[in-house]
Structure 1
Amino acid sequence: MTGKTLTRADLADAIHRDIGVSRQESAQLVEAVLDMISDTLVKGETVKLSSFGSFQLRDKNGRVGRNPKTGEEVPIDPRRVLVFKPSQVLKERIDTALSK
């Protein structure tokens, strides 16, 4: 693995390079897409991106956890978490790339 992280700037750069819109327009496009995804998730709705995967919110119940350092029991409050489930197409693409 290379350890490289894909950033908003990288996405905007790729749009600028591949589509040919200005750097400012490509950055605005990336922001608009990410804002739309965020707003949809805030409403509690699922976001499905064909051939990529889906983002959804899950409610986790409260439970009793344990501090690994001290062994002390600690209550963990109920919370909502964001979960990503990759599509079968993405899984196959990753598996193919890793097997080379």
Structure 2
Amino acid sequence: MIKSELIDRLAEANPHLYHRDVERVVNTILDGVTDALARGDRVELRGFGAFSVRQRPARTGRNPRTGESVSVKEKHVPFFKTGKELRERVDGSRDTVKELS
């Protein structure tokens, strides 16, 4: 699912809201998560998961084309850890699919 599909589904599920308002809410939430991660904060959505930032140290890499060693700078990358409820629902849905087959 992409962001526009999420917005469309939420708008369909909430016909009393304007599509542009649903889009604004989704964008505000995603911007809030992005801003928090940019500050180095952790964002936890109970039952869904937690977003955090992990540091990758500087290292010596290799250019795959030439085989030459290259220096790779330290960087910070977003990390997502699923919540227990999300893991259980995803895992449980596979059991449901197996039962229907």
Q: Tell me the TM-score normalized by structure 2.
A: 0.84
Structure 1 alignment gaps of length 5 or more:
1-5
Structure 2 equivalent of residue 24 of structure 1? 20
Say which of 52, 65, 69 aligns to 1:69. Answer: 65
- Runs of at least 4 residues of structure 1 off by over 3 A? none
Aligned residues: 95
User: Which has the higher mean CA deviation after the structures are superposed, 87-96 or 49-58?
Assistant: 87-96
- Normalising by structure 1, we get a TM-score of 0.85
Runs (5+) with no aligned partner, structure 2: none
1:15 maps to which of 7, 10, 14: 10
User: Within 2, Cα distance between the matches of 1:60 and 1:47?
Assistant: 19
Determine helix, strand or coil for the equivalent of 1:97.
helix
**Per residue, is there more helix in 1 or in 2?**
2
